[in-house]
Amino acid sequence: MREPKVACRSMKSPTAGQAAIFCRAASSSSDDLPEAASCIESVAVSGADWLRQDGADTRRHFEHALGRLQRSATLGRLVSGEISRLAHDGAYIPERVVPGRLSLYENADCRLDLVTTRTSAEQPSTFLYSNTTSLVHVSLDDSARVSISAYQAPRVERNDTFVAGATLELIEQRNLGRYDAIRASADGLTAHDLCSDRPSVLLRIALKRELPFVWGFDREVLAAKFYYPSDVGASRRALAIDFLLATSHPRLAELCSLLRASQWHFLRWRAIQVMAREGFATVDELMQGACGDDHPEIRAAARDALDQMAQA
């Protein structure tokens, strides 16, 4: 079974249904913060409403909230506050660290980010990342020409069953208008690539309908190379296995035993592989048990292992 690469991201997941303002304005007075939070939350919530239900009323509410935000000094204060904290607080670590993105607001339903664009000459030559989400992009610089390329991956039976070499297909390429909403289906893999004639800043509202795994596609050939879980807890557990294995830690067997019951199939398979390699159980016993796993990849890999043992 192909083992996914796992990215460990430094972030905290908010409690479901509880709003979290990630970016605090250190230079703002305490009287300004409630107004700033209200402006940001209104844009995120009204934008999410418009993505779910495209209509004149929902769009009008979103445009009203966005106008209120842009008339205020909220965004400038937030960015200045972030810079001040980074420059003067040596212990400060942003809660969500993603290149080109500053998270402003998140709840169980939606997310609002500040996003920077690159020019075509600055685009990375590595990977496009694909998942399911619906987006609204709003350029904060009307003089910049920003374009978006939208890609669609082939439908897969399960998002957590990796198909190496599956290819993205370019389905749309257009210049971004004042408000551009991109509504993705709930069961598809999509990827979006932003580019501008010069560096630019956008607001992005995204519905949080992500699938369990993010897939990485080679930008040159648009082929799937790896995937990793959206859930940071799964990434941390995978890192723990690798750390304990690399250091021959005495608790490795304990962790593998626990992860054999993980909700994540790739962690169950990784635990089985390590237990077999380290002799914590016999290969035959481990593979016989894996033949009854809920995930088809694990069952297929276990059967292949047993067939190879029988032919040896």
Each residue of 258-274: pLDDT tens digit? Answer: 999 999 999 999 999 99
Q: Is the pTM of this model over 0.85?
A: no
- Per residue in 113-138, pLDDT (tens digit) is 888 888 877 776 778 888 777 788 88
pLDDT averaged over every residue in the chain: 81
CA distances from 140 to 71, 100, 144, 217, 229 (A): 12, 15, 9, 29, 32
CA atoms of 151 and 243, how far apart (whole Å): 36
* 129 φ, ψ (degrees, to nearest 5): -110, 130
Top-confidence residue, 13 or 216: 216
CA atoms of 163 and 147, how far apart (whole Å): 29
CA atoms of 136 and 207, how far apart (whole Å): 9
- pLDDT at position 182 is 79
Task: Please enumerate in sequence order all residues whose Cβ is within 8 A of that of 219, keeping only pairs 6 or more positions apart, or say none.
Answer: 123, 124, 125, 126, 127, 128
Res. 9: pLDDT tops 50? no
- pLDDT at position 25 is 39
- Per DSSP, the three-state class of 307 is helix
Res. 308: pLDDT tops 80? yes
- pLDDT at position 14 is 32
Res. 6: pLDDT tops 60? no
From 132, 163, 165, 162, select the one nearest 150 (Cα to Cα): 132
Task: Please enumerate in sequence order all residues whose Cβ is within 8 A of that of 268, keeping only pairs 6 or more positions apart, or say none.
Answer: 259, 260, 261, 262, 290, 293, 295, 298
CA atoms of 135 and 47, how far apart (whole Å): 9
Q: How many other CB atoms sit within 10 Å of the CB of residue 180?
A: 16
* DSSP code, position 155: P
Indicate the helix (H) or strand (E) that contains 146: strand 146-152
- pLDDT at position 60 is 94
CA atoms of 68 and 82, how far apart (whole Å): 21
The torsion defined by the Cα of 181, 187, 191 and 194, in degrees rounded to 10, comes to 10
Res. 167: pLDDT tops 50? yes
What residues does 205 pair with on adjacent strands?
112, 136
CB distance 199 to 123 below 8 Å: no
